[in-house]
Amino acid sequence: MNQSNLKKSGIFAVLIILYSLHALAAAPGDIPPTDLDIDSVDILDDCSATEQLSSDYYGELTAISIDTIDSTPSSEQAGTIFTIKATVTDEAQIQSVAARLYQNDTQVDAFYLYDNGQSGDGVAGDGIYANTWDSATMHEGHYDIKITAQNEYAQNITITKNDVLEILPQGICKPMKSSGSQDDKLDIVFVPCDYNAGEEDKFRTDALAHMNQLLGFSPFDEYPDSINVYRVEKLGSLSCYYSGRCVLASGSAARLLASECGDYDKIIVIADSNEWAGCAYLGGIAHASSRYPWITVHEFGHSFGSLADEYSYGSYGSSSQPNCDSSSSCPKWAGVQGTGCFPQCQYDNLYRPTYDSTMRSSYNQDFGPVNKGVLRGLLDGYN
């Protein structure tokens, strides 16, 4: 074998070793590392020697392109789970994509991004690489993101985007679920009523139980990326009053507290009470006793969906709500599978679509097909 062939064989051997080691370190589709050593990403900083070897052996290669870098949400308080995304393209197979976060030119974290359909990246193989980042231990301020992508020939490209995300100062508005900008999400704010100062932990626990009950309920569980949830931790400033099984708070006071969370869409007032009580105006504020999270689901049906009660108030009347019909043949939901025409819906002379549902009995675990259709139609308006 002549010297030229020996040289090419040696180069090829080096490439195979580099490729094998890198594939073991960051094979696409692996479970994202939860405790990645920042230094382990340094191999992606400068592969100029490897690039030269690969070009010598394979000829000219197409450059990798990093088209977009973004964070969802773009700004939120510490403790928020951010999703970091980058769009990466190359004619060669992408071997790895890594993200590093900097504050004031100091690297604070590093992790791999994945295009496996399981890391907040969307559909596997679509060229969008992503991973989640827990900001619980981070300081407030702006963060820069540096993305480095490497292909199967050990070529790499690094792009830095400044001020991609911001950790906001701590305030009385606490994020519970962050899915993105308030501009196109359903933004729900939990407001405390009759809690005493110092009972933040109790309110936090109660709000979490009510949020999980609501978001785990169909059809809200079908739209996890369309909903933001917050709670206002200003206790002792709002009082509730009771009338029978109805609990209410001052609407103006509740709205003032909710405004701490910016441009909200809906308010849920949680009353610190063991009473079976709740209330909501159609399209307005929902109220529920802290002890019964499923009351929140029923009341939010009024507040968000403008759905009527499917029991009777013991009188006659009319209703324009989508789940009540004045005709005994119920043409409003004719042809909708799983429906009928059952007497009593808000009034004795109106009819409801199912024998029982969440809007008839708060502890019922199903809105029913008509109410779900109404709620889905509204939820479809959020991204």
* pLDDT tens for each residue of the chain, 383 residues long: 444 444 444 444 444 334 443 333 333 333 333 333 434 444 333 332 223 223 333 344 556 889 889 998 888 888 888 999 999 988 788 999 999 999 999 999 999 999 999 898 989 999 999 999 999 889 989 999 999 999 888 888 888 888 789 998 778 999 999 898 899 999 999 999 999 989 999 999 999 999 999 999 999 999 999 999 999 999 999 999 999 999 999 999 999 999 999 999 999 999 999 999 999 999 999 999 999 999 999 999 999 999 999 999 999 999 999 999 999 999 999 999 999 999 999 999 999 999 999 999 999 999 999 999 999 999 999 99
255 CB neighbour count, 10 Å cutoff: 14
The number of residues making up the chain comes to: 383
Is residue 204 within a helix (H) or strand (E), and if so which, with residue range?
helix 200-215
Q: Does domain 65-168 have CATH number 1.20.1440.230?
A: no
Contacts of 103 (CB under 8 A, 6+ apart): 138, 139, 141, 142, 143, 144
Architecture of the domain made up of 173-306: 3-Layer(aba) Sandwich (3.40)
Partners of 285 in the β-ladder: none
222 CB neighbour count, 10 Å cutoff: 11
- Domain range annotation of the chain: 65-168, 173-306
Instruction: Answer whether 63's CB lies under 8 Å from 111's CB.
Output: no
Instruction: Answer whether 295's CB lies under 8 Å from 263's CB.
Output: no
Task: State the virtual CA torsion across 329, 331, 332, 335 in degrees, nearest 10.
Answer: 100
Instruction: Answer whether 170's CB lies under 8 Å from 216's CB.
Output: no
Q: Exposure pattern of 264-288 as b/e (b: 16+ CB <10 Å)? A: bbbbbbbbbbeeebbbbeeeebbbb
Q: pTM of the predicted model, to two decimals?
A: 0.63
